[in-house]
């Protein structure tokens, strides 16, 4: 394994192992065209020689812009085989952005997809004097371009072949000069402020991330991956490209960006990677389409979705279920879920991942019900692939296990620090930022998190969104509230604690679920207000709070809570219309209550103005009790 420490060396290794196996597939002229490892090897070899012919030096940058197609990846490997560095540019970037990246990276050769992208380089050519050639692989619309700067992909390959005759062995020499510490690519991150930064990522880092990904998500050379996320993004480099080269996973490309969904259905990939938003969108699409479906389809869906949720319950309890349930779940799969998943190319999907942002539990459970277990993938340009779920250990509240190669440390500020062979090598031409990010070998991720007792990494929030207790301890208000809302008995929660001694929460009970629980336990109640102040209910909620508290350090445990006598209401401006809590307003509105909590009172009488929808106002007087989670045992 030691010998294959760069992307192009891995490619050569795949070629030597199975030259005639399929490496890539691309739909063209309505047919799936297959490219073997031999095709890939030969393209990379001659293109790499062409780069040498054009005068590419070790360490020079090659900018690639285009849709995900075999040529994109071959150009990447060819550049790297010649000792060059990839600079991926996003297809939707305007010429000014292309110019910035091209100049900033000091690139010398551009590889572009088609006329649209070629035009961008021709527009900025005067401003980028180092640009030697523009190689394009789709000649459509370019037949009248006679610019000497342009070179077609086919001609480039020919140039490479003739270069080989005059310089035999040049490809191998350059290939063997490469080492894992060489920079493989510059990945540009937009950065929340100021100019974009270019993360320098070495072959070693990418390969370690890729191997770790494969270890968590075992894939072989018969597995299909649908590559459609921008190839200029590190996610595609770390997972798709690395899985392709280290595991031999087949990359498949859509005919056009518009045909991704249809083409994906035809391929039936075994891996599916989407962001949380896309998973949520797809779930919503299913629900909307079912709403429009024929009566019998709707009926089947409703009945079997319940069976699906039963499956989720069983998995979460770690049970297999009896024969009856196992039969019903299989039936649900065959009758409803397989056809549903088929529509999104998820029928054959074995591994489904999500990452980069938090996803709602509802979405997670919905896909689980359909038989798609979503796994987290946590990583970044700077830190590489850090943590992810193994198939047998999926918990939606965590990011999963920390990978074998990554070392994770939580700083005093609760920042996630990462070390290991998979981290990046610094920002290109930005030593100041590099020093701020890599301190003593640890990458500072700016993410706050902690490691819970199973050893899983948990993401709290961006460091900048954390609140601080009076003693300086940081905590994540939204994370606490989010975790509390996982409970079926808690509808909403608002945490207090900024510049105070400890954390307290104001909780709104879920009237339906708590009411049902109360009935089952023979607890009498009249109204929401009455129910919310029952001691038994406080005990019920305290249990949930203690469960959430388990994951926190002594300092950041929830120490007090109240059950509010009414729901948060957008009509009373407590919530925004998108149901986000308006913190400032709330702290003002309930300042007596907040004061009482931190004063240590057992309860408080509060009066609130209630605005009815018809405009009338009334004053409500209620006694609200203040509880301590550790004392209230149901």
Partner 1 sequence: MPDLLIENLSLEFGSLKALDDVSFRVERNEILSIIGPNGAGKTSLLNCISGYYKPQKGTVFFERIDLGSLRIHERTKLGIARTFQNVELFNGLTALDNILAARHIHFRTGVLWKSIYYGRALREEVHHREMVEQIIDFLEIKPIRKKIVGSLPYGMRKRVELGRALAIEPKILLLDEPMSGMNVEEKEDMARFVIDIFEEKKIPIILIDHDMGVVMDISDRVIVLDFGKKIAEGVPEDIIRSEEVINAYLGQ
Could you identify the residue written with the tokens 């990359």?
251
Candidates 92, 146, 190, 258; binder of partner 1 (CB under 8 A) is 258
Whether 131 and 54 have beta carbons less than 8 Å apart is answered as no
2, 94, 144, 472: residue in contact with partner 1 (rule CB under 8 A): 144
528 near 565, Cβ under 8 Å? yes
Give, in degrees to the nearest 5, the angle at Cα 79 between 74 and 84: 160
- In the bound state with partner 1, the residue whose beta carbon lies nearer, of 181 and 256, is 256
Handedness of CA 519, 525, 531, 533 (dihedral sign): negative
Decide if residue 612 touches partner 1 (CB under 8 A).
Answer: no
- Least distance CB 506 / partner 1 (angstroms): 51
**Closest distance between partner 1 and the C-beta of residue 297, in Å?**
21
* DSSP bridge pairs for 152: 136
Q: How does DSSP classify residue 240?
A: I
**Burial environment of residue 561 by CB neighbours within 10 A (0 to 12, 13 to 18, 19 or more):** buried
Contact mark string toward partner 1, 337..356, x via CB under 8 A:
--------------------
Closer to partner 1 by CB, 2 or 144: give it.
144
Count residues near partner 1 (CB under 8 A).
Answer: 13
Residue count of the chain? 634
Nearer residue to partner 1 within complex by CB, 151 or 254: 254
Task: For the segment 355-414, give every residue that binds partner 1 (CB under 8 A).
Answer: none
Would you state the structure tokens that stand for residue 287, as one six-digit string? Answer: 């629900």
**What is the nearest approach in angstroms of partner 1 to the Cβ of residue 277?**
23
Q: Is the CB of 262 or the CB of 435 nearer to partner 1?
A: 262
Judged by beta carbon, residue 254 or residue 514, the one nearer partner 1 is: 254
Asked if 143 is part of the footprint of partner 1 (rule: CB under 8 A), the reply reads yes
Q: How far is the CB of 113 from partner 1 (least distance, A)?
A: 14
Binding residues among 121-140 for partner 1 as defined by CB under 8 A: 140
Min CB(27)–partner 1 separation in Å? 8
Task: State the nearest-atom distance from the C-beta of 398 to partner 1, in Å.
Answer: 39
Q: Positive or negative, the Cα torsion across 500, 357, 491, 588?
A: positive
Task: Work out which of 162, 176, 259, 527 binds partner 1, going by CB under 8 A.
Answer: 259
Contacts for 495 with CB less than 8 Å, ≥ 6 apart: 475, 477, 480, 481, 503, 504, 505, 558
- The residue range among 15-23, 28-36, 474-482, 537-545 that interacts with partner 1, by the rule CB under 8 A, is 28-36
Residue among 289 and 306 whose Cβ is closer to partner 1: 289
To partner 1, the closest distance from the beta carbon of 342 in angstroms equals: 16
Measured distance CA(469)–CA(474) in Å, rounded:
6
In the bound state with partner 1, the residue whose beta carbon lies nearer, of 126 and 258, is: 258
Query: Which CB, 33 or 331, lies closer to partner 1?
Result: 33
Region from 22-30, 243-251, 438-446, 465-473 binding partner 1, contact rule CB under 8 A: 22-30
CA 319, 322, 327, 331 dihedral sign is negative
Residue 293 φ then ψ, to 5°: -75, 170
CA distance 331 to 343: 19
Query: Nearer to partner 1 by C-beta: 59 or 257?
Result: 257
Which residues in 264-300 are b (16+ Cβ under 10 Å) and which e? bbebbbbbbbbbbeebbebbeebeeebeeeeeeeeeb
H or E, element range at 606: strand 603-611
User: CA angle, corner 404, sides to 271 and 278, nearest 5?
Assistant: 30
Cβ proximity to partner 1, 253 vs 459, nearer residue: 253
| 30 or 602: CB nearest partner 1 | 30
Binding to partner 1 by residue 256, rule CB under 8 A? Answer: yes
- Select the residue interacting with partner 1 from 55, 59, 141, 196 (CB under 8 A): 141
> In whole angstroms, how close is the CB of 365 to partner 1 at the nearest point?
33
Q: Is 255 in the site for partner 1 (CB under 8 A)?
A: yes
The smaller minimum CB distance to partner 1, of residues 256 and 362, is found at 256
Quick one: how many helices (H) and strands (E) in the chain? 23, 28
Stretch near partner 1 under the rule CB under 8 A, chosen from 128-136, 156-164, 252-260, 503-511: 252-260
Which is nearer to partner 1, 164 or 263 (by Cβ)? 263
Question: Do residues 198 and 105 lie in contact, with contact meaning Cβ atoms separated by under 8 Å?
Answer: yes
Residue 92 binding partner 1, by CB under 8 A: no
CB neighbourhood size of 94 (10 A): 9
* Alpha helices by DSSP H, 82-222: 95-105, 115-124, 153-166, 170-177, 203-216
> Footprint of partner 1 on residues 29-48 (CB under 8 A)?
29-31
As measured in angstroms, the least distance from the Cβ of 30 to partner 1 is 5
Contact window for partner 1 (CB under 8 A) among 119-127, 255-263, 268-276, 332-340: 255-263
d(CA 587, CA 498): 11
Q: How far is the CB of 258 from partner 1 (least distance, A)?
A: 4
d(CA 591, CA 424): 47
**CA 485 to CA 547: how far, in whole Å?**
12
Instruction: Tell me 335's DSSP state.
Output: I
Task: Give the range of 254-262, 305-313, 321-329, 546-554 binding partner 1 by CB under 8 A.
Answer: 254-262
Nearer to partner 1, 59 or 154 (CB): 154
The H or E element containing residue 543 is helix 535-549
Say how far apart CA 229 and CA 67 lie, in whole Å: 9
Residues forming the site for partner 1 (CB under 8 A): 28-31, 140-141, 143-144, 255-256, 258-259, 262
């Amino acid at each position: 394994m030691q010998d294959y420490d760069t992307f192009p060396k891995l490619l050569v290794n795949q070629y030597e192992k199975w030259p005639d196996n399929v490496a890539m597939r691309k739909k063209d002229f309505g047919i799936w065209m297959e490219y073997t490892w031999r095709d890939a090897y030969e393209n990379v070899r001659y293109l790499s020689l062409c780069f040498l012919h054009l005068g590419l030096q070790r360490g020079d940058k090659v900018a690639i812009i285009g849709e995900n197609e075999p040529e994109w990846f071959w150009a990447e490997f060819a550049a790297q085989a010649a000792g060059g560095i990839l600079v991926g540019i996003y297809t939707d970037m305007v010429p000014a952005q292309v110019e910035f990246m091209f100049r900033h990276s000091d690139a010398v050769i551009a590889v572009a997809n088609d006329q649209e992208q070629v035009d961008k380089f021709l527009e900025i050519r005067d401003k980028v004097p180092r640009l030697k050639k523009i190689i394009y692989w789709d000649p459509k619309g370019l037949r009248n371009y006679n610019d000497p700067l342009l070179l077609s992909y086919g001609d480039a390959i020919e140039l490479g072949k003739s270069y080989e005759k005059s310089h035999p062995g040049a490809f191998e020499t350059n290939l063997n000069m490469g080492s894992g510490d060489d920079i493989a690519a510059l990945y540009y991150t937009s950065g929340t402020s100021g100019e974009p930064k270019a993360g320098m990522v070495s072959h070693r880092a990418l390969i370690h991330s890729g191997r770790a990904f494969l270890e968590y998500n075992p894939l072989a050379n018969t597995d299909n991956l649908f590559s459609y996320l921008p190839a200029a993004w590190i996610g595609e480099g770390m997972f798709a490209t690395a899985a392709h080269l280290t595991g031999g996973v087949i990359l498949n490309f859509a005919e056009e960006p518009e045909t991704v969904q249809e083409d994906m259905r035809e391929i039936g990939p075994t891996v599916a990677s989407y962001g949380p938003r896309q998973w949520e969108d797809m779930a919503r699409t299913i629900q909307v389409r079912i709403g429009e479906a024929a009566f019998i389809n709707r009926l089947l869906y409703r009945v079997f979705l319940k069976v699906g949720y039963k499956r989720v319950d069983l998995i979460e309890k770690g049970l297999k279920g009896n024969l009856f349930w196992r039969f019903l779940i299989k039936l649900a799969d065959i009758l409803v879920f397989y056809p549903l998943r088929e529509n999104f190319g998820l029928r054959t999907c074995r591994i489904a991942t999500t990452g980069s942002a938090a996803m709602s539990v509802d979405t997670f459970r919905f896909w689980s019900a359909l038989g798609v277990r979503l796994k987290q993938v946590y990583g970044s340009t700077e830190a590489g692939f850090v943590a992810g779920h193994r198939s047998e250990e999926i918990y939606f509240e965590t990011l999963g296990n920390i990978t074998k190669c990554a070392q994770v440390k939580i700083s005093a500020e609760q920042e996630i620090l990462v070390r290991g062979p998979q981290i990046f090598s610094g920002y290109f031409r930005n030593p100041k930022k590099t020093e701020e990010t890599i301190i003593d070998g640890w990458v500072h991720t700016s993410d706050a998190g902690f490691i819970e007792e199973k050893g899983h990494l948990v993401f709290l929030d961006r460091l900048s969104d954390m609140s601080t207790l009076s003693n300086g301890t940081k905590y994540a208000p939204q994370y606490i509230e989010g975790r509390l809302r996982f409970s079926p008995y808690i509808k909403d929660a608002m945490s207090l604690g900024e510049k105070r001694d400890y954390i307290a929460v104001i909780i709104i009970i879920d009237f339906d679920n708590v009411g049902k629980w109360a009935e089952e336990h023979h607890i009498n109640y009249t109204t929401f207000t009455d129910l919310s102040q029952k001691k038994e209910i406080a005990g019920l909620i305290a249990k949930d709070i203690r469960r959430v508290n388990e994951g926190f350090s002594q300092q950041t445990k929830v120490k007090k809570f109240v059950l509010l006598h009414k729901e948060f209401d957008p009509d009373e401006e407590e919530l925004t219309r998108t149901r986000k809590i308006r913190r400032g307003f709330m702290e003002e509105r309930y300042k007596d209550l907040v004061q009482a909590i931190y004063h240590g009172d057992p309860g408080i009488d509060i009066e609130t103005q209630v605005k009815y929808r018809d405009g009338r106002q009334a004053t409500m007087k209620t006694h609200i009790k203040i509880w301590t989670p550790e004392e209230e045992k149901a």
